Amino acid sequence: MKKLIEYTKILRSKNAGPLFITFDLIFHNKEDMEYVHKNLKKSDIASAYEVDESKIEIIAYSVVNSIKITFPRKCISGSIKDFDIYGCQQHMPLANIRL
C-alpha cells in the first residue's frame, strides 16, 4: 500500500469560500487517477478529518487527470477558532491515506 501523495503530481488544499475546504489532486497519468478514484473511500477521508461522510464530495475530471474533494470546514475561515485562514495547510491527513 502506498500513501495517496505517492500517486499525485500535485496535492493541495485551499478554501472554497469561507465555509468549505477543497483539495486538488493532480496526477501524472490517467491510470493513477483512475486507481485513486476507484479506491479512495469517503470513510477514509471522514476519519482523517473528523467530518460527516455524507458531506464529502469527490469529483473526478478525467480529461485533465485530476480529482477534487470538497467538504465543510470545521470553523468559518477567519473566525476566532480558525488556525488556517486560507485552508492551504490541510492536505497532509489526505496525503497520508494509504491505498
- The answer to whether residues 97 and 4 touch, using CB atoms and an 8 Å cutoff, is yes
What are 97's three cell numbers?
491515506
86 neighbors 78 (Cβ within 8 angstroms): no
46-63: pLDDT as tens digits: 999 999 999 999 999 999
In this predicted structure, what is the pLDDT of residue 64?
97
SS3 state of residue 62: helix
* CA–CA dist 32, 54 (Å, integer): 25
The pLDDT, as a whole number, for residue 31 is 97
Range(s) of the domain holding residue 21: 4-95
Structural domains counted in the chain = 1
HSE value, Cβ hemisphere, 13 Å, CA-based, for 70: 10
